[in-house]
A = this chain, B = another copy of it.
Amino acid sequence: MKKPEIGHHISQRYNEELEDVRNKVLYMGGLVEQQLADAVQALTTMDSALAEVVITNDYKVNRLEVEIDDECIHILARRQPAAGDLRLLMAIIKTITDLERIGDEAERVGRMALRFIEGESTKDTKPLLGIGYFGDHVRRNLHDALDAFARMDVQAATQIAKEDLKIDQEYEGILRQLMTYMMEDPRSIPRVIGVMWSARALERIGDRARNICEYVIYLVGGKDVRHTSLEQVEEDVRGSNRSEKDK
């Protein structure tokens, strides 16, 4: 399968612009990943200072989204890109929307952490038990999705998108556990609900990592896989790799 290459334009300036926008997306991805890691750590270690850092830093993510959007419009208007670059730019425009929303979810987890820490004098951290591992799983999946984006690796993207199913199952398990806590001790309900929202936020981040994978497949394969089964995509990728070898 042919990968779209960036450094193939006659205009050196155009190459640089595309490379620059791509690097900014990767930088934004790294920032969002850090925000997610910090938010989960703030919640599980009840570190309110770290939670404050996450909440404060969200503006950096927002600023990057606006900046990259502007650069994309600029390139679209000045360079009138052909099909391959157009797909890259579409994927970037969609990816940064998801990254910005992941940033919002991380901020939400930060706020829940603050509420959890301040909320009660009892230091019952039992509801947090599953969250650390779950958050780590979601963060690793986001990292892998961004990695597939950086390498434009459609095969990896397909695998990572499938990982989201496991995240959904883990999430269901955590929900059941949290409901049990609440039923056993109704006074804990307000506190546990906050943990539940955090778990939900993490599950949504998993969905968005999956979105990014789908843009990679869409971008590289030129094939729209949104709303089709990943098994089908995998088969298609395998088929296309085979025919590539046959050449």
Please report A residues at the B interface, Cβ cutoff 8 Å: 59, 62-63, 65-66, 69-70, 73, 76-77, 80, 82-83, 86-87, 90, 93-94, 97, 175, 179, 182-183, 186-187, 189-190, 193, 196, 200, 224, 226-227
Contact = CB atoms under 8 A, between A and B. Distances in A.
Contact of A183 (B82, B90, B189): B189
Contacts of A87: 73
30 contacts: A59-B227, A62-B226, A63-B227, A65-B226, A66-B224, A66-B226, A66-B227, A69-B90, A69-B224, A70-B224, A73-B90, A76-B76, A77-B86, A80-B80, A90-B93, A93-B94, A97-B97, A175-B193, A179-B189, A179-B190, A179-B193, A182-B182, A182-B186, A182-B189, A183-B186, A183-B187, A183-B189, A186-B186, A189-B189, A200-B200
Give the number of times this chain occurs in the complex, counting copies. Answer: 2
A86 B69 contact: no
Contacts of A224: 66, 69-70
Contacts of A196: 193
A199 to B, nearest CB: 12
B83 A77 contact: yes
The dominant DSSP class at the A interface is helix
A70 B222 CA distance: 11
A122 B97 CA distance: 43
B227 A62 contact: yes
Contact of A97 (B80, B94, B186, B189): B94
Contacts of A63: 227
Contacts of A189: 179, 182-183, 189
Contacts of A83: 77
Contacts of A70: 224
A108 to B, nearest CB: 11
